[in-house]
Amino acid sequence: MRRPKLGQHFLIDRDVVQRQVAYAQLRGDETVLEIGPGKGVLTHALAPHVKKLVCIEKDPEMVDELTDHGLPPNVRLILGDALKEELPGFDKVVSNLPYHISSDITFRLLERDFEMGVLMFQREFAQRMVARPGTDHYGRLSVNAHVKASIELLETVPPSAFHPRPRVASSLVRLTPRPAPPFDMEEPELFEEVVRAAFQHRRKTLRNALLDQWPAFTKSWDLLHDAVPKLPHMEARAGTLTPKEFNEVAEALAAAVA
């Protein structure tokens, strides 16, 4: 059943569910987080393999249904919004995420310290997460995801695995947070602003993109205008730059406008 107000499509293919559990490489001693358990198909598959399973569900009707049908004793069910609720401590996260919050919830999770996530995304979103420079799917999401995690596409899941069927295919993704960016990063906030500006104007050279967004970098357009000739990669466009090259721009920009 779908709850249109929340945009839910429930995974019903139990073979996919079992593979998702297997991908999580559970040892039995972990606390696992599940966001959006829905009807509990994944919940009941996970529970025998974990020490504790914490589920956060936004829909009160789903919470009532899960409670009425009974949950294993090691499952804690929280009624709340995973984007707003204080997240408990967890070792792994295994979830079929509501697609409309994929980006927000993923980066919220990546602010936490955990071992691994096995997450279901819309296939196009997953492709954007792992895209490389020069490819059609490469964008701001690709850059920021690469900085924060190692990401592996595990399998494509067809619409027939869900009820009701979504209009698009889905992907299971294994996500392993990085303890630190894969390169030295001295200006993380400026890095994010550079990436944002570049992809907001992805058809322009980086020089023009930065100048168009100059208030994000300095109080003086003239100061930035004078600085950009000294910065690296200014004639490149966003879709061709690696995350490391964006970082080189951010660090050179920080020094130039200090």
pLDDT, residue 1, reads: 34
More confident residue, 28 or 3: 28
End-to-end Cα separation, the chain, in angstroms: 56
Q: Which residues, other chains included, contact 136 with Cβ-Cβ below 8 Å and sequence gap of 6+?
A: none
Q: What is the CATH number of the domain that holds 83?
A: 3.40.50.150
Strand partners, 176: 150
149 and 52 fall within a common domain: yes
53-71 pLDDT per residue, tens: 999 999 999 999 999 999 9
Q: How confident is the model at residue 8 (pLDDT cuts 50, 70, 90)?
A: confident
Rg (CA), the chain: 21
164-198 pLDDT per residue, tens: 999 999 999 999 999 999 999 999 999 999 999 99
224 and 248 fall within a common domain: yes
Q: How confident is the model at residue 4 (pLDDT cuts 50, 70, 90)?
A: very low
Domain enclosing residue 193, as ranges:
188-256
Instruction: Identify whether 31 is part of a domain.
Output: yes
Instruction: Identify whether 73 is part of a domain.
Output: yes
Q: Which residues, other chains included, contact 24 with Cβ-Cβ below 8 Å and sequence gap of 6+?
A: 32, 46, 49, 92, 94, 116, 118
Instruction: Identify whether 4 is part of a domain.
Output: no
Check: CB of residue 111 under 8 Å from CB of residue 86.
no
| Domain count of the fold of the chain | 2
Q: How confident is the model at residue 89 (pLDDT cuts 50, 70, 90)?
A: very high
Instruction: Identify whether 219 is part of a domain.
Output: yes
Question: 51: which 2 tokens?
Answer: 């020490």
pLDDT, mean of residues 72-76: 98
Instruction: Identify whether 3 is part of a domain.
Output: no
Instruction: Identify whether 5 is part of a domain.
Output: no
49 and 126 fall within a common domain: yes
Using the predicted structure, report yes or no on whether residue 6 has a pLDDT greater than 80.
Answer: no
Residue 50 burial by Cβ neighbours in a 10 Å radius (0-12, 13-18, 19+): buried
Q: How confident is the model at residue 2 (pLDDT cuts 50, 70, 90)?
A: very low
Strands 52-57 and 116-122, sheet pairing: unpaired
pLDDT, mean of residues 75-85: 97
pLDDT, residue 165, reads: 95
Instruction: From 151, 177, 203, give the residue that closes a domain.
Output: 177
The Cα–Cα gap between 198 and 213 comes to 9
Q: What is the CATH number of the domain that holds 223?
A: 1.10.8.100
Hey, how many other C-beta atoms are within 10 angstroms of the C-beta on 95? Answer: 23
Q: What does pTM read for this prediction?
A: 0.92
172 and 219 fall within a common domain: no
pLDDT, residue 192, reads: 97
237 and 171 fall within a common domain: no
Q: Helix/strand/coil (H, E, C) string of 102-168?
A: HHHHHHHHCCCCCCEEEEEEEHHHHHHHHCCCCCCCCCHHHHHHHHHEEEEEEEEECHHHEECCCCC
Instruction: From 123, 147, 177, give the residue that closes a domain.
Output: 177
Instruction: From 177, 212, 243, give the residue that closes a domain.
Output: 177
Alpha-helix residue ranges (DSSP H) falling in the chain: 14-23, 41-46, 60-69, 102-109, 123-130, 140-148, 188-200, 206-212, 221-227, 243-256
pLDDT, mean of residues 193-205: 97
For residue 84, give the amino acid letter: K
198 and 159 fall within a common domain: no
